[in-house]
Structure 1
Amino acid sequence: MVDPRYIRMFHEVVRTGSYSAAARCLGYSQPAVSQQMRALERTVGTPLFVRAGHELRLTEAGRILAKHADSVVEDLTAAQNKLSAVKELRSGGIRVCAFPSASATLVPTAAARATAENPDLRIRLSEAEPPDSLESLRRGECDITLAFTYPGIEEQVSGDVVGLGVLDDPVVAVLPAGHRLAKRRSVELAELADERWIAGCPRCREYFVRACGEAGFEPDIAFTTDDNLAVQGLVAAGTGVALMPRLVLSFLRHRKVIGRRVRGVEPRSILAYTLSDHREVPTTALMLETFRQVGAEMRADS
């Protein structure tokens, strides 16, 4: 059995290209790294490095081990993160990762409610869009992830991840205040077929293009940006129109744009994900239930 510490050090030597560079990154002395690499070579029974002048090169055995070292180190890091998560959860702390519009709406309301009832609860918030946020959960870097998906987009989650429905967030057409359809309460997507469009994040853009296709047209995408305020600024300036989740407009609205419900376009689904073995941890269960309640109240108010 190879000592995991040797694999970590081997991985760092390969990454940095030398014993001395790996020693600096890991906080060891150069002789200590050399000693552990010799111990690793004795364990596997063959040399892993050869010197070519001042350059350190991998042997064939070293290249084989290097192919597996990345995943081994990643798995070890994930395990350590998850162990740390259990420790933090038991001490009354929880880490939540959310996409920006959820961070500005769902999270503050849920956090205020949860901490009002549990003053010792400590919440650490980070931001990421799916699928990156779900990878963060899988790696043990957070305890709950708020993520969204659209109809027809299959969410790739591992078997140890479970999701709880929080909110269905309708899609709205973002139009300049003086647009020809501005006085309508809702519009058909096909009525905007001749417009120029500003497209959003990759996941939103994928669904938008498909929805336009189902409405019988291919959108003329003039601009693409992940910045919701930039989208609205471009719409306000008359450069195009956009589709946007209504949750965004609930907290961030340019004064010269309006949002109109789009008939026939399905909403995005917002879910709270956690690891299956964390569902019964009190702090995780508390936050999941709080997110569910807040989502239900937002649905009732819409």
Structure 2
Amino acid sequence: MFDSRHVRVFDEVVRTGSFAAAARNLGYTQPAISQQMKALERSVGTLLFVRVGRGLRLTDAGEVLARHAAGILGAISAAQEQMTAITRLKAGRIRICAFPSASATLIPSAVASIKKQHPGIRIELLEAEPPESVESLLRGDCDVALAFTYDTASEQPTSDDLCIVPLFDDPLMILLPAAHPLARRRSIELAQLAEEQWIAGCVRCRSRFVESCAAAGFEPDIGFSTDDNIAVQSLVAAGVGVSVMPRMVYSSIRHPKVVSRPVIPADSRTVAAYTLSGHQNIPVTRLMLEALQHVAEEMRENGQAAKLPALGTNS
């Protein structure tokens, strides 16, 4: 294995024709140059120079290395420049996997903030509902995953391979047609809507909704199932049913003929960002996590999300 410092000294010796001239140009002593060339010869296992009178002549092995030295040093220099650019956030790539409502709310602001300050960074977005998004992270298909959980203690991924960055608590809201008799109320008990037909969302949200209805003493009549926010609100606006929706989802697009009210008993989902343990120290990953935290804070200040107690990280 070559030491790049030795190759650089070798290239200078070849270019100048002597150890003494190379020493002057590089600011070394001549014995230091000689020692480095001996070390290089030990690493390659053969002589690179032979003495001819007062001068030097390259051996066959030396000729081979001389032909490649410039390329080796150029490749090392290019690699160093690229790594420096990544470290200084002038370049790099970050892949995010998020669930749809996060793609519509958190991601655009976070990406815009990063691109404004660091236009050389490439950001790629994939979509998947949890737990698939976290599984994608563990497979190495993305660098940061956004996911939500209900009942944080029982559903929170606990792999030692994960670093978890809590973002906020996302309350659930009842969606009603604006003309509904309960639309004037400030909050609505789930049991008050036991006789209504319901529009259910994604599989995970639907499962949570059915459990909540059971706790409230009824089995919901689910007439429609869709995880399309616009479709849910259009169905509610048309008066064909009511729905439960996370506030973050509802905040992205609001139908003028739909109203939202807090549900009683209060319920919410936890939204967090995930990366692999240790990867939070990679500059571009750290930048993305910080951008997501900043957007989450703005959402809390604007009333789009609730503050989440710190959960810490697994590492």
Same fold (TM over 0.5): yes
Q: Distance in 2 between matches of 1:185 and 1:115?
A: 40
Deviation at 1:89, TM superposition (A): 7.0
- Which residue of the partner structure matches residue 228 of structure 1? 229
CA displacement 1:173-230 (0-9 Å, x = unmatched)? 1111100111122212121122111111011011111111222222111222222222
Q: Does 1:128 align with 2:140?
A: no
Q: Distance in 1 between matches of 2:86 and 2:197?
A: 48
Q: Does 1:212 align with 2:213?
A: yes
Gaps (5+ residues) in structure 2? Answer: 1-82, 304-315
Deviation at 1:156, TM superposition (A): 4.1
Judge conservation of contact 2:163–2:278 (CA < 8 Å) in 1: no
TM-score by length of 1: 0.67
- Which residue of the partner structure matches residue 115 of structure 2? 115
CA displacement 1:71-110 (0-9 Å, x = unmatched)? xxxxxxxxxxxxxxx9x97652101111111111101111
Q: Distance in 1 between matches of 2:252 and 2:298?
A: 16
- Which residue of the partner structure matches residue 257 of structure 2? 256
* Cα separation, partners in 2 of 1:89 and 1:191, compared to 1, 3 Å: farther
Q: Distance in 2 between matches of 1:188 and 1:162?
A: 37
Deviation at 1:294, TM superposition (A): 1.2
Deviation at 1:251, TM superposition (A): 1.6
Matches within 5 A, 1:1-150: 91-150=91-150
Deviation at 1:237, TM superposition (A): 1.8
Deviation at 1:157, TM superposition (A): 4.9
Q: Does 1:187 align with 2:225?
A: no
- Which residue of the partner structure matches residue 169 of structure 2? 168
Give the SS at the match of 1:138.
helix
Q: Which amino acid aligns with 1:207?
A: R
Length, aligned pairs only: 216
Judge conservation of contact 1:200–1:225 (CA < 8 Å) in 2: yes
Deviation at 1:119, TM superposition (A): 2.4
Judge conservation of contact 1:89–1:281 (CA < 8 Å) in 2: no
Judge conservation of contact 1:211–1:265 (CA < 8 Å) in 2: no
Give the SS at the match of 1:253.
coil
TM-score by length of 2: 0.65
Gaps (5+ residues) in structure 1? Answer: 1-85
Deviation at 1:272, TM superposition (A): 0.2
Q: Distance in 2 between matches of 1:222 and 1:262?
A: 20
Deviates more, 1:89-98 or 1:204-213: 89-98
Give the SS at the match of 1:250.
helix
Q: Distance in 1 between matches of 2:160 and 2:99?
A: 22
Q: Distance in 1 between matches of 2:270 and 2:95?
A: 22
- Which residue of the partner structure matches residue 297 of structure 1? 298
Deviates more, 1:232-241 or 1:271-280: 232-241
Structure 1: 4+ residue segments shifted above 4 A: 88-91
Q: Distance in 2 between matches of 1:280 and 1:259?
A: 40
Higher alpha-carbon Rg: 2
Give the SS at the match of 1:158.
coil
Q: Which amino acid aligns with 1:172?
A: M
Identity %: 56
